[in-house]
Every structure is written in C-alpha cells, then in structure tokens.
Chain A
Amino acid sequence: MPVEAADTLAAKDLVGIARLTPGEIQLILDTAEEFLEIARRPIKKVPTLRGRTVVNLFMEPSTRTRFSFEVAEKRLSADTLNFSASGSSVSKGETLIDTARNLMAMAPDFIVMRHPDSGAPHRLAALVPASIINGGDGINEHPTQALLDAFTMRKHLGHLDGLKVVIAGDIRHSRVARSNAFLLTKMGAEVRFAAPASLMPVAVDAIGVTPFYRLEPALEDADVVMMLRIQRERQGNMNFPSVREYFDFFGLTPERLKAAAPHALVMHPGPINRGVEIDSRVADGRRSVILEQVTNGVAIRMAVLYLLAGGHGE
C-alpha cells in the first residue's frame, strides 16, 4: 500500500531518518524524481537557492558525499562554503558551541555536516537557526544515503513495501545500515542484517530488523542485497580474523547471489573493497546499480535542500 506523501517537511533540519514520517520520506523521494529530470537537461542549473548560503562542514574525510552535496548545491544556484577538518581550525577539542558560533557569523541558511560523533548534528540543530543536513554522524545515521538507496530501489522495483532487503557487512559501525533500516522498516520493507555477531549491533530487533549470522540464509528470495564496506584498517582488532576468511564466508559471490530473487539488485554505498565484501563479477555485473546510486544521490540531495528551503511537493 503506497504511503501518501506529506506536503512539506515538518522540521527545519534533516538530522536522521529516525525523525521522519513515512509521508515525509515519500515526499522526498517523489521530489527527487523531478530533480532527476534536471540532470538530463543540457543546462542542469535551476535558480531555486539563488542568494542562499550553504556551508559544507566536513569534520571527517569524505569525497563522494561532499562532491554529491556540492553538485546538488551548485545545480540549485546556492553559494557554497567548504570547511573541512584538515583545512580549518575546526578540530578536536573545539566545542560544538564554538563551531556553531563561528558558523553563524557567516549566517548560512544550510549547514551540511559530516561529523565523527553520533548526535553532533542533532545538538547543532538545537543551537542554530540554520537548517542542518546530516551527511553522516558517527555510527548513527546517514540519512541522504538511505534516501538515495530507497530511491534507487523504488526506481527499479516500483515500490518499497514488502521488499526483502539484505544489508551485509560491518553493521555495528555502519550509519548507512542504521539509516537504511529506519527508512525501509518505516516504508514497510523487511530488513535483514547479515554479519558475524561480532560485527552486529546488539538487540537489532529494537529497530525492527532480523539478524542473520550467515549470509546464505539471509539471501533467500532477497529483492535487494546491499553490501557494506569492510574496513581493512579494522583488521587489527578482534572483530574477525582476516579479510580472506571474511570473503570466504561473507563475501557476495555470483554463486551466493543465486539464492536471491532473479530480479535482485546489488547495491553498495561505496567505496568498494573488491574481493573483500564483494566479488568483482557481482560488483560489475548486470544486477549492480552501484553507479546509478551515485547519480541518484545528487537528485536526493537537491530534493532535500529544496524542501528544507520551504519547497512543496507537486
């Protein structure tokens, strides 16, 4: 049963999927369809945010998310300012209040924020009048990623409700997994987390997800298989023995993918670790929509900026 889209977004910020209603999610997805059209035009710029200022505050390294937001902002004709942890005085030890004061001196209308600490955008949102858009906070949320993933699923499969979506990898440290779980369960999909328990958060039933400790049973009849990056850097700690063993038991291979539905999509938020969580034959295969996710990311971020600026649905 399709969800009725809301007319507007209730909050001034987008800090997490957890605070959105299904109607608001529907509104963002529907609005992004319009902006996807713009990407197909020869002149991709619209005057929607002319005269508005967006600060991109990235206190954690990021290239793809930051580029995606910047493209979205430029296509909406916004003025943009970039702050990153390495390129400014923003650093560990400076309090969020100081950061807020500094930023407000520039009177931005929007702050797109990536931060290593869970909840930082939520706290900043309560301190400043600008609209905060969370570009990833700690292990908590990455709402625009979940929105673009859902947008991509809907484009290919026509709907979200009833879909069986597998999310596999380092779930415990993944804000992408969490935002996707919030979004998909709100929209009526079934979410399965697949990982060894050492990479799984505790009590995932609390967020409406079913845990699987082996990949194969999770893949049964799946409509979507989303693989998360396994960070080689984490190898030194105690979560799993080796990359080789991880791939042996949890890597997505063409053979394992056979258990999923014939139309199943393969997704990945990037950057991909070939041969660690995903076999190149799958990553580059015909079911992969990984590059399309990137294109859709711009449309979703344009839609979010437009709606937070006071825009309405059609």
Chain B
Amino acid sequence: MSNLLIRNGRVVDPSQSLDQGMDILIEDGMIARVDEKIEANEDVPVLDAAGLVVAPGFIDIHVHLREPGYEYKETIATGSAAAVAGGFTAVCCMPNTKPVNDDPSITRFIMERGAAVGLARIYPIGAVSKGEKGEELAEIGEMVRQGAVAVSDDGRPVMNAELMRRALEYSRSFEIPVAAHEEDLNLSAGGSMHEGPVATRIGIRGIPSAAEEVMVARDILLAELTGGHLHLCHLSTKGSLDLVRMAKRKGLNVTCEVTPHHFTLSDEDLAASNYNPNWKMNPPLRPKSDVEAVLNAIYDGTADAIVTDHAPHHQDEKDLDFSEAPFGIAGLETAVSLALDRLVGQRVIGLSQLVRLMSTRPAELYHLPGGTLRVGSPADLTLLDLRSRVTVDPSAFRSKSRNTPFAGMTLRGRPAATIVGGKVVWEAEQGSPS
C-alpha cells in the first residue's frame, strides 16, 4: 500500500540542499530512498517525472475553509480539493467559522472531517480568544491536544494589548505560534481599499498603512516582552516588513508571511477593475511601492512563508455594493502559478528558495510533519511543471467559490501532481505545453 517510485524528476529540497535529477522511492506512505537511480520491484507503480520538479509538499499555513457554518462558501471537502489541485499537500485553516474554532470539540470535528475527506492534510488553527471576541483566552491547550497547530483571531484582530500579551505568554507552554492579523480596527473602520492617492482619485474610503503597522509594532514589542512566537499574517506594507527586519536583527521570535496577491497586484489594478469587489481584500492591495517591498522581503528572506489567505466567498456576496461586499479572494488554485511566474520566472528568487517559502519554512514555523524529502518523512510531494502556461479560469476551480482577480491571466508554470502519504491525490490533465 502507498508504494510509488518517482523517476527522472529534478528533486529540489532545500532541507537537504538538493537540486538535481534523482529518483524517489516511497514505501508505506513514507520516503524510503532518494537516489540517483533506483530500481524497484516490478509491482511498485512508477510515476515518470521527466521534465518536472519534485519538491516536498507545499504547505499553506493560512486558509479559510469555512466549515463549520459557512458551507455555502466552502467546505472542508471542496477546500481540500482546491488545495491539492493547487499543489498543496497540507493547509492550516483559520478559526473564524461559525461557531468559531475556540473549543476542542470543533478542533476535533475539523480534524476528523479533514481525515475523512482524505486529500490534503488539514491542520486547524484555534482561536486566541473565546468567540474571537478579544476578551478572554480560549482553551488553547485543549485545542492543541486535539490537533490545533497555532492560535489566531484572524479576521477579528486582538485589539486588547493585554490579551495579546497573555496569549503570547500562555502559548509558550504549548510551543505554538500566535498568528496575528494586524489591523487597528479604529483606523481601518469604514475603509474598503488602501488609503492613498488612488483611493482619493476613485473615491473609495481608505484603510491607511498605519492600521497594519501600528499593530505590527505593538505586537513585536509584546513578543520582546513575552518571548512568545509571534507570527505576523499577510504583511502588505514596507513599514511592516521594515519592522520585522528590525525584530529579526534583534533576534526576537518573530516570523511573517506574505501573499501572492500582495506581490502581484497593486491598488492601481483595483482602480482599473471598475469597482469590482473581487479586488477587495484585507489587508487591501497596496501601492506599487509596497508590492516592490513585498518582493524585496521575499528576496532577502524577511518573509518566512508565502500563504494564500484563501478566502472563498459566494458570488452573491461579491455582487453586493463595493463597501458591503466581504474582503478576500479564493487563492489556493492560483498561488503556485503566480509564485512560479512572478517570483521564479521574473528571477526574484530561485526555485529552491520558493520551495523553502512554500514548504520547508511553513513546516518549521508551525511544527508540522513534512517540508522535507528526508528518508523517513511522510511522502508528501508537490510536482511542478515550470514550462506549461495556464490561463486562470475560475469556472474550473475545485473551490466552491470563484472570487479571484486573476481570471483570464496567463501564467507560466503550474503544479503537475500532488502526492499525500504516497498517494497521488491530484494530477494535472495533460495540458497545453508551449
């Protein structure tokens, strides 16, 4: 069971500083051998990866799967299908469901649903506070016991500095990060896009960069005070990333993530969309100078991980008025192509660094199995096709939702197959290489 020989691929595994043609033998769902030429028994199925990159499975540590409670937007089943179709072998799902994942029984429900679906590995993130209300700590230890890998009040920032302090302290006992969505709700109130010249031009109420940055600064100081692991979610401004650089120089336990939409699109693209809510996300699309800053943070290692912040919403919600429509885009099925095209294709970083940002580091940050092809590791692998061009077609998404600003965009590079526990859970159709 779950034996497989992957032949002739280019194996890229930064955890072992590997980038060369190799074969990989999987036995019982684990990596059994990595070698230049492997001969296996005839009964072992063979996957010919000639022309493909073989990497440790990509892990997205920031998605919204919406179940329980918002199954009309996404379910654990459709979200898992979207994940593997996007090249991800594991995802960490945020707790802003209904009810909020602030209780071990909900954590357990998500774990069980994820296992029953059996596509990507699903790791729940528990809430920091009960009901994400920002008033009292949720049962963090109990949730960790049921499988939670981090805590976060994503979507409902922790406005109370003392609660944030206590969360950073308390989480140390369980060796998990506190993942912070940084937004001062007083400063962002009423805003639908980045506050700046473009918002002034098109007449949309703005969210200033400072709404993010004051909270990043506050929480870095609290991380210093407490020694807790602060993981900063979806940073979008130069100011935030400069603060992280400073924190890292000081040796603080601070890490951060960035998203494909923030390294690809700017508020100018929103302006060109004719007020289309598919360009509305939180944090908002920033000016080009911030897009450059995010690319720089990817290049110089300030960013630890690339995440999608996959935020599926129903079409009816995105058809609402711009100011009423919910924030967020469906990101799982476009992230890898965007990263290959915009980062590797444009030579911002090499392939090995990309694998670090989408597999190795995410596994390290959230203490997850995987992120490596070392012998004895779970056989979670992402195969990449660097040459094919894909045109983003939301109607072909496995996700229940179609809310993407990337529809119609042609990108070079895409996931070719996704292998979880030695099982091929998704394979690209023979596309149109060009």
Q: Which of A123, A141, A206 contacts B200 (CB 8 A)?
A: A206
Q: Collect the chain B residues with CB atoms within 8 Å of residue A137's CB.
A: 203
CB distance from A25 to the nearest CB of B (A): 18
Nearest Cβ distance between residue B269 and chain A, in whole angstroms?
Answer: 15
- Decide if B323 touches A138 in the complex (CB within 8 Å): yes
User: For the side of the interface on A, what is the size category?
Assistant: 20 to 34
Bits for B288-308, please: 1 = Cβ < 8 Å to A, else 0.
000000000000000000000
> Considering the complex, which residues of chain B in the window 298-322 have a beta carbon less than 8 Å from any beta carbon of chain A?
316, 319-322
Contact assessment for A118 and B201 in the assembled complex, using a CB-CB cutoff below 8 Å: no
Q: Is B324 an interface residue (CB 8 A)?
A: yes
Tell me if A207 and B200 are in contact (CB < 8 A): yes
Q: For residue B188, give the distance in angstroms from its CB to the closest CB of chain A.
A: 14
B-contact bits for A174-194, CB 8 A (1 contact / 0 none): 010010000000000000000
Instruction: Assess whether A201 is in contact with B200, with CB atoms less than 8 Å apart.
Output: yes
Asked whether, in the complex, the Cβ of B197 is within 8 Å of the Cβ of A118, the reply is: no
Q: Does A232 contact B (CB under 8 A)?
A: no
Contact A92 B319 (CB under 8 A): no
Determine whether B275 belongs to the interface, using a CB cutoff of 8 Å to chain A.
Answer: yes
Flag the segment in A43-51, A93-101, A267-275 that touches B.
Answer: A93-101
Q: Collect the chain A residues with CB atoms within 8 Å of residue B197's CB.
A: 202-203, 205-206
Name the one of B195, B204, B321 contacting A140, with C-beta atoms under 8 angstroms. Answer: B204
Distance in Å from the Cβ of B18 to the closest Cβ of chain A?
49
A139 to B322, CA, bound (A): 12
A72 to B324 CA separation, bound complex (whole angstroms): 33
A203 touches B200 (CB 8 A): yes
Q: Is the CB of B274 within 8 A of A123?
A: yes
Q: Confirm or deny: A204 has a beta carbon within 8 angstroms of a beta carbon on chain B.
A: yes
Partner of A96 from B196, B201, B206, B321 at Cβ < 8 Å: B321
Q: For the complex, is B202 an interface residue (Cβ under 8 Å from A)?
A: yes
Please tell me if A4 contacts chain B, counting CB pairs below 8 Å.
Answer: no
Whole-angstrom CA separation of A141 from B202 in the bound complex: 9
Complex interface: chain B residues within 8 A of A203 (CB): 196-197, 200
B205 within 8 A of A: yes
Interface magnitude class on chain B: 20 to 34
Closest A residue to B198 using CB positions: A206
Complex contact B203–A178 (CB within 8 A): yes
A141 touches B203 (CB 8 A): yes
Q: Chain B's nearest CB lies how many Å from the CB of A11?
A: 13
Q: Which of A117, A119, A123, A140 is most buried by chain B, counting CB atoms within 10 A of its CB?
A: A119
Contacts A96-B319, A96-B321: A118 and B202 contacting too (C-beta < 8 A)?
A: yes
Nearest chain-B residue to A137 (Cβ)? B203
Is A202 a contact of B195 with CB atoms below 8 Å? yes
Assuming A92-B324, A97-B319, A139-B205, is B200 touching A119 (CB within 8 A)?
no
Q: How far is the CA of A138 from the CA of B202 in the complex (A)?
A: 11
Asked if B203 and A175 make an inter-chain contact with CB atoms under 8 angstroms apart, the answer reads yes
User: Contact mask A94-119 → B, CB, 8 Å, 1/0?
Assistant: 01110000000000000000011111
Give the distance to chain A from B402, nearest Cβ to Cβ, in Å: 14
Q: Mark B309-347, 1 if CB is under 8 A from A, else 0.
A: 000000010011111100000000000000000000000
Instruction: Please name the residue on chain A nearest to B193 by beta carbon.
Output: A118
Q: Is A1 an interface residue (CB 8 A)?
A: no
Shortest CB distance A23–B (Å): 21
Set of chain B residues within 8 Å of A141, measured between Cβ atoms: 203
Given B198, B316, B322, which contacts A118 in the complex, CB threshold below 8 Å? Answer: B322
Q: Which of chain A's residues has its CB closest to B318's CB?
A: A95
CB-defined contacts of A116 to chain B, threshold 8 Å:
321, 323
Q: Please name all residues of chain B whose beta carbon is closer than 8 Å to the beta carbon of A95 when the two chains form the complex.
A: 316, 319-320
How far apart are A199's CB and chain B's nearest CB, in angstroms? 13
Residues of A within 8 A of B201 (CB): 18, 206-207
- In the bound complex, residues from chain A placing their C-beta under 8 Å from that of B321 are 96, 115-117, 120
What are the interface flags for A155-190 relative to B under an 8 Å C-beta threshold, 1 for contact and 0 otherwise?
A: 000000000000000000001001000000000000
> Are B274 and A126 in contact, with the CB atoms below 8 A?
yes
Which of B205, B321, B324 gathers the greatest number of chain A CB atoms within 10 Å?
A: B321
Q: Smallest distance from the beta carbon of A57 to chain B beta carbons, Å? A: 14
User: Assuming the A-B contacts A203-B200, A207-B200, are A119 and B275 also in contact, with contact meaning beta carbons closer than 8 angstroms in the complex?
Assistant: yes
What is the minimal beta-carbon distance from A18 to any residue of chain B, in angstroms? Answer: 8
Q: Which of B339-396 contact A (CB under 8 A)?
A: none
* A214 close to B (CB within 8 Å): no
Q: Is the Cβ of A117 less than 8 Å from the Cβ of B195?
A: no
A-B contact pairs, 22 of them (CB 8 A): A18-B202, A96-B321, A116-B321, A117-B322, A117-B323, A118-B323, A119-B203, A119-B274, A120-B275, A122-B275, A123-B274, A126-B274, A138-B204, A139-B204, A201-B199, A201-B200, A202-B199, A202-B200, A202-B206, A202-B208, A203-B196, A206-B200
Given A95-B316, A122-B275, A140-B202: 5 more A-B contacts, CB < 8 Å: A118-B322, A140-B203, A201-B199, A202-B197, A204-B200
Closest CB pairs A-B (n = 10): A140-B203, A119-B275, A206-B197, A117-B321, A95-B319, A203-B197, A201-B200, A118-B203, A97-B319, A118-B204
